[in-house]
Amino acid sequence: MYVSMKEMLQKANRENYAVMAINCFNLETAKAVIDAAAESHAPIIVDLLQDHLKTHLDHRYLTQPIIRMAENVNVEVAINLDHGQDIAFVKQCLHEGFSSVMMDASMHPLEKNIAITKEIVQFAQAYNASVEAEVGDMGAVAGDQYTSDGMYTDPEEAIHFIRATGVDCLALSYGSSHGDYPEGYRPAFRFDIVQTIKEATDLPLVLHGGSGAGRENILRSVALGINKINVGADFMKAQRNALHQQLDACPESDYSTLIHQTIEAGKAVVKEYIELSGSKNKSL
């Protein structure tokens, strides 16, 4: 079933679990994600990153085939534009058929972020699509630099933003970063940020940078009101490792066999995160 994030996140909010959003960039990665959700009877979000769509494969070649995949399974599937920063591009994606978009104007001062996001919220209504936004600075792992104090979401700013824009969900910066942490590293989370915003707004909240965040951090995040968890690095790392293993075992492997192995490896990771998020068997 092809849907927006709105209803699936509202249900997750009522029942206190999170829906997984997995970064995909082609049809094979989308198939792995949707198949894993169908086998787990879980709602799922296919996240398509703006940078990937601009540099790897255009949304015009991806959207309709992924929608067809979604319509052929008995679980809720949304396509969400991840970190859309170009207003015109965000609108193009909605016109192309995306059921959800993230308007990430978090690099701007708060009031400009509000104005840009509010415009997209109003525009998305014509498509019955949901809108995610961000307050704070969700950085990326760079060397030994992760989240710094200046990157954390200010709860009062977030509460004001939610009330001013009418967004369907909000991404928070409270300890995680995009990318792949060093082996054994676990980020320290500021759970008080999540708790304060949730108690004031009861809005579905979003954790970006779920890869490597650690089981306990994710479980506590969900318990406090995180209803969408983004994962990219762990999903893609599993597929990369599957390629290495297959080529080491059989260097002459056929390319189609290699790709099939990556799909299976990706599915396994998605299923693990579905279990951790509490969304298994939560499809309508």
pLDDT tier at 144 (50, 70, 90 boundaries)?
Answer: very low
How many other CB atoms sit within 10 Å of the CB of residue 79? 29
Q: What is the 3-state secondary structure (H, E, C) of 150-175?
A: HHCCCHHHHHHHHHHHCCCEEEECCC
* Alpha helices in the chain, H assignment, sequence order: 5-15, 27-40, 50-55, 59-71, 87-96, 110-124, 155-165, 191-201, 215-224, 233-249, 255-277
Which tokens is 262 given?
A: 């990556």
Q: pLDDT per residue over 151-202, tens digit each? A: 899 999 999 999 999 999 999 999 877 766 667 666 789 999 999 999 999 9
CB 280 within 8 A of CB 20: no
% of the chain with per-residue pLDDT over 90: 81
pTM of the model: 0.93
Neighbours of 10 (CB within 10 A): 16
Position 149 pLDDT exceeds 90: no
| Residue 141: band (very low, low, confident or very high) from pLDDT cuts 50, 70, 90 | very low
Between CA 107 and CA 77 the distance in angstroms is 29
Spatial CA neighbour of 168 closest among 119, 121, 122, 131: 131
Cite the active site residues. 82
Q: Mean pLDDT over residues 101-127, rounded?
A: 97
Is pLDDT above 60 for 142? Answer: no
- 43-66 pLDDT, tens digit each: 999 999 999 999 988 888 999 999
Regarding predicted confidence, which is higher, 69 or 136? Answer: 69
Sequence-distant contacts of 179-182: CB under 8 A, at least 24 apart: 179/140, 179/141, 179/142, 179/209, 179/211, 179/233, 180/141, 180/211, 180/212, 180/233, 180/234, 180/237, 181/141, 181/146, 181/211, 181/212, 182/144
